[in-house]
Every structure is written in structure tokens, then in C-alpha cells.
Amino acid sequence: MASFAKKILECLKNLGINNVFMVSGTDYAAFIEEYSMGGKFPDLIVIPHEITAVSAALGYSMSNQIGVVFIHTTPGTANSLGVIMNSYSARRPLLIIAGRSPNTLHGDASRNLRIHWGQEAKDQGEMVRQWVKYEFEIRDGSQLISTLKRSIKIAEDEPAGPVYLSIPREITIEEY
């Protein structure tokens, strides 16, 4: 068994993704931990703010490879929206993977900080839905591989454009 974070990194690499731009933080602690242990993963390019990270991923997509970026929850999505709109208008493939506030109240990676209520939206995907080709929240590890494959295909199929996935924090530490 492996953590969801490890599985997503391995899956991205197996799908030909060599670089992932990311804003580090509580959403991605499990990803950083897995990456630090080594494995067949894409390179993680850590950037301190979503506008810059999503812009870098969009620029990378200009090299005819899909740009992939990990961003924070609702605030990170809001910070990214202008660049997501640019990706949509420019018809460039972009895979945005956003953290989401935990759904659970007890257990590892659950809502244990005040910020988890403050950064929660009723419908986080609603913020981007007009500007992406596909939007989905992964709620179970069994959805991972098919969702990533589908998302990359949708992003790259003409007319190319951005795709948005969200993942609640407690899902990233589960074993699958």
C-alpha cells in the first residue's frame, strides 16, 4: 500500500509529466514527504505564490507539454483565476490540482485548524467552472488513475484548455 500522495506523483510521472509546479503548504505536506523519500516522481518546482506558480505552468505548456500545478484551497484558486482564464483563452493545456479543506472533523489531516473553516467555500469548483474544460473533486483513491488520465486527455484535446481537480486534505494521506 502507498499513500494517495505517492500514487498521484507516480501516476503523473507514468503519464509523462516531468515537472509539477507547486505552492507548498498544508495541502501538500504528504506530497513533499513522499518526494523527499525518493521515487519515480516528476520534479517538484516549489514557487511561493499561486499567480507565479500557475503562470509558470502556463508558460511550460507553451512548450507543447501540459503544465501541471498544485495550488492551495479557495484562496489559491482565487489567486489563480486570472491565469486560468488566460489558459482558457489561449487554448493551452493546464492541469490545476487544488487542495480542499478537509471534510472530516476527527482523525489525521482533518479540520483541526481555524483556517480550515475560513478558507472553505460552499462550492470551490464554481469559481473556475466557466473557465475550465472539466472540473472534478477526487473523494476516493479509486478515482485517481482514471481521473488523471481523463483530465490530461480533456486538457490536451482540441481545443486545448485548463482542467481543475480538487482533493480534500484527508484524502492525500490515505493508504491505497
Q: What is the pLDDT of residues 30-76, one digit of tens each?
A: 888 889 998 899 999 999 999 999 999 999 999 989 999 999 888 89
Average pLDDT score over residue span 7-23: 95
Domain around 122: 4-172
pTM of the model: 0.90
Is the pLDDT confidence value at 17 over 70? Answer: yes
Return the number of other C-beta atoms located less than 10 Å from residue 161's C-beta: 22
User: What total number of domains does the chain contain?
Assistant: 1
Q: What is the pLDDT of residues 111-150, one digit of tens each?
A: 555 555 456 667 788 889 999 999 999 988 889 899 999 9
* Domain CATH number, residue 161: 3.40.50.970
